[in-house]
Structure 1
Amino acid sequence: MKLSAIAAATLTAAIAAPASAEISDGKVKIGILNDQSGVYADFGGKWSFEAAKMAAEDFGGKVLDAPIEIVTADHQNKPDIASNIARQWYDREQVDSIMELTTSSVALAVQGLSKSKKKINLVTGAATTELTGKQCSPYGFHWAYDTHALAVGTGGALVSQGGDSWYFLTADYAFGYSLEEQTGQFVKSKGGEVKGAVRHPLATTDYSSFLLQAQSSGAKVIGLANAGLDTANSIKQAAEFGIVAGGQRLAALLFTLAEVHGLGLDAAQGLSLTESFYWDRDDQSREFAERFFERTGRMPNMIHAGTYSGVLQYLKAIEKAGTDATEPVAKAMHEMPVDDVFARNAKVGANGRLISDVYLMEVKKPEESTRAWDYYKVLATVPGAEAYIDPSKSGCDLVGQ
């Protein structure tokens, strides 16, 4: 297990400064736990760690006169490894909160552990709606996106723009099934048709037979219900088969700016996708993105910006509560509006779901891009209240208490 840590404030100043009596262990320690070596390494990875450090620094390096420390580890997309790291962090290393948590199985495992330990966790990297549904936690929060928002944004909104027949190419595990099912429901609810689906193994390298089945379906839209390198490789091979050139559209149901950059506009052009953040949205997002670029050499996607927002909101909640004790901080996080570079005029539902706008994007053609990372055209804005499940209908037993 490899762990790395940085103090968000200067070490000597942190040692010298007396910590608030209301801060446990004399510091606030946040863990960023995600995939840093596998298929989701660009999706979040070490870049989310940098975003978390930015948030701590922008907050001033201290909260209630106590230093802020950020630590990170690679869970390798394995729930058992993630749970072991989380338990060690909580029991031995005085970590107060764990965030990011790419991969739904990992996020559910760590949220369950955090609930039993009465610790706050905040998910930006995983998609499952179960985090704020039947497996919700009074100390669990879900930022950035989920499968429902992706389905509404890419499925429902795209049908409204003429993409009314779909065929799915789906990763053969729970995340893929959920994404296919929810998107299919929204396609049908908008009057569209689902012509079928084919499933592929996680992290396969040859998508040719699956893509040929999708191509022969005649569907206007081929929905890629996968993520990370699976999606990138699907798109790359689809370009080789001339699928988009032949008149069909590709819809990446979980794909971000980081993966578009890795793939390149030649292969990704015309792709439809949903994100809850775009760096070139306005002056505030551009200012944040340029600072992020100076540190990382890349522009942030919704996971990176969402992690920044989540860390910032957690620190604000500690400040409001006057303590880092879990119960009052969780209460403050539920009560406080979220208004920052990631989400504007957003709120946290009773189930822990951040309700903020999402955007249906189309990847530009190479000749339409005016500079590096200028990759998206915004086709539609989906209000948060439409993008996310109404907390009262989420299945979370905390709602209404």
Structure 2
Amino acid sequence: MRHGLPIGCVLLCLSMIGAAVAQVPATVKIGVLSDFSGPFSDQAGKGSLVAAQMAAEDFAKESKGLKVEILSADHQNKPDVGAAIARRWVDQEAVDAVVDLPNSGVALAVNTIMKDKNRTMLASGSATSDLTGKFCQPTTVQWALDTWALGNAMGRAITERGGKSWYFVSFDYALGKALQRDTTEAVEKQGGKILGSVSHPLGTADFSSYLLQAQASGADVIALGDTGADAINAIKQIAEFQILGKDKRLAALFMQIVDIDSLGLKAAQGLLLSEAFYWDLNDSTRAWSKRFAERMNGRMPTINHSATYSATLAYLRAVQAAQTIEGDKVVAQMESAEIDDPLFGKVKVRKDGRAIHPMFVFEVKTPEESKGRYDYYKLVRTISAEDAFRPIDQGGCPLIH
């Protein structure tokens, strides 16, 4: 060789370049792992699949030929089922990322698998703050909300309005435990106290015994550490038993717009809730939500749906920028610069995997205040991105030194 490079070295270098390019397949595959048939199917389910498909279509306009395939599966709210699907997807079907995951137990199981496979998990529907705490992984990003943000917003808002003593009725699995723990921290910081708690299984229909225990506690606030169909059932039965009054308030810690729609404004009016997204928040959210509703028979998106769209789009852009599907490198790319998101505004992905952005406290309108279906919220408070989520050094994430 005239320039002193052996032919073997040249071939080796060329093969290494080829391997690097091959890291991004011709088609990037994303699996929407959701609840399509259970208590969270309205919050996530088909709407999350539609949102991921919308993200893939919008990315196609800028993808420069990189194709995207969206798969979906029902985890049945069983961690072992969700874990088996995620493992099969990566090992046998070359899936590069998993998104949505509206069940904290399932999310925690899949979190470990995706780290071991070095593929990306986009926890757009998972609420446990442990995903960015003690179980954080370099391959996971948690979008939208978490139990610390919900507990912080609701604990402060209701305690400031006079709710000083609390009693929890919570899911008996990861989400309920995290909601109760994180809300307790916020309440106690405001000078409130916790009088007790009771846990119920996922899919509970009869809340009478749990609500009677809460009523007997004498607490100012009955806090529901659940969501979806369970929270709807609990609130309906609270109304039937006439438990609430001037001396007793309700803190529904994790409600979404489809839950309010199911309850109806007569039952839900006056409820305080916290979300990071509302379809009628600004021109950008309204425009996207109109597109979504056209595909969903007029239904407006939940926070899960909007977060699945935003996380999927951010992931695809990061894959293209980093030229790899390796999970740790894609997430590092997502962390490298602020994301200007059409639905959540300015978003920054922290080293612990937490995507930070503003959160909001809303009050549910009265029937007289509402102009029609899905016109349900009044903005009470905007919480800045810096204040909305747990400080990065307080979660116990081993990635933070």
* Structures share fold, TM-score greater than 0.5: yes
Q: Which amino acid aligns with 1:370?
A: K
Matched, 1:198 2:173: no
In structure 1, distance between residues paired with 2:400 and 2:138:
10
Closer, same or farther: CA 124–132 of 1 in aligned 2, 3 Å: same
Q: 1:174 to 1:321 in 2, by over 3 A?
A: closer
Number of the residue aligned with 1:375: 376
| Cα offset, 1:41, TM superposition | 0.7
Contact 1:168–1:224 at 8 Å: present in 2 too? yes
Contact 1:249/1:271 (<8 A) preserved: no
Residue in 2 that maps onto 1:57: 57
Q: Which runs of 5+ in 2 are unaligned?
A: 1-19
C-alpha root-mean-square deviation of aligned residues, in Å? Answer: 1.8
The one-letter amino acid paired with 2:59 is F
Q: Which has the larger radius of gyration?
A: 2
The CA deviation string for residues 113-137 of structure 1, in whole angstroms up to 9 with x for no partner, is: 0100110111011111121112111
Shift of 1:186: 0.9
Aligned equivalent of 1:12: none
Alignment CA distance shift 1:197-1:65 (3 Å): same
Aligned to 1:397: 398
Residue 154 of structure 2 is matched in structure 1 by: 154
Amino acid at match of 2:302: N
Measure the CA separation in 2 of the matches of 1:242 and 1:46: 35
Quick one: structure 1 residues 376 and 247, their matched pair in 2 at CA, closer, same or farther if it must change by over 3 Å? farther
2:57 is the counterpart of 1:25: no
Pair 1:224 & 2:249 matched: no
2:83 maps to amino acid: S
Please, which runs of 5 or more residues in structure 1 have no aligned partner?
1-19
The Cα of 1:46 is off from its aligned counterpart by 1.1
Cα 1:326–1:207 change in 2 (3 A) is closer
Q: Which residue of 2 aligns with 1:15?
A: none
Identity of aligned residues (%): 46
Tell me the secondary structure at the aligned position of residue 205 of structure 1: coil
DSSP 3-state at the match of 2:136: coil
366-375 vs 376-385, greater mean Cα deviation: 376-385
| Equivalent in the alignment of 1:329 | 330
Q: 1:208 Cα shift?
A: 1.7
1:293 aligns with 2:293: yes
Paired residues for 1:1-400 under 5 Å = 21=21, 24-60=24-60, 63-244=63-244, 248-296=248-296, 297-400=298-401
Alignment: residue pair count: 381
Deviation per CA, 1:150-174: give whole Å up to 9, x if none: 1001112221233333222222233
> Would the aligned equivalents of 1:279 and 1:286 in 2 still touch at CA under 8 Å?
yes
| CA shift digits 1:99-123 (9 cap, x unpaired) | 1111111111111001001101110
- After TM superposition, the score normalised by the length of structure 1 is 0.90
Compared CA separation, residues 179 and 328, structure 1 to 2 (3 A): closer
2:24·2:323 contact (CA, 8 Å) conserved in 1? no
Q: Distance in 1 between matches of 2:163 and 2:328?
A: 46
Aligned equivalents of 2:244, 2:341: Cα separation in 1: 37
Tell me: CA distance 1:95–1:368, structure 2 relative to 1, closer, same or farther (3 Å): same
2:38 corresponds to which letter in structure 1? G
SS in 1 for 2:340: coil
Q: Distance in 1 between matches of 2:114 and 2:61?
A: 25
Please tell me whether the aligned partners of residues 115 and 327 of structure 2 are also in contact (alpha carbons under 8 angstroms): no
Deviates more, 1:314-323 or 1:91-100: 314-323
Residues 314-345 of structure 1: per-residue CA shift (max 9 Å, x gap): 01112222343434322211112122133222
- Paired amino acid for 1:38: G
Q: Is the 8 A contact 1:292 1:299 kept in 2?
A: yes
Aligned 8 A contact 1:274 1:360 in 2: yes
- Which secondary structure does the structure 2 equivalent of 1:345 belong to? strand
**Paired residues of 1:44 and 1:304 also in contact (CA < 8 A):** yes
Amino acid at match of 2:126: A
Equivalent position SS for 1:350: coil
For 2:79 and 2:29, how far apart are their aligned partners in 1? 22
Aligned match of 1:8? none
Cα offset, 1:388, TM superposition: 1.4
- 2: CA distance, partners of 1:23 / 1:367: 57
In structure 2, the residue corresponding to 1:378 is in which secondary structure?
strand
| Deviation, structure 1 residue 369 | 0.7
Q: 3-state SS of the aligned residue for 2:37?
A: coil
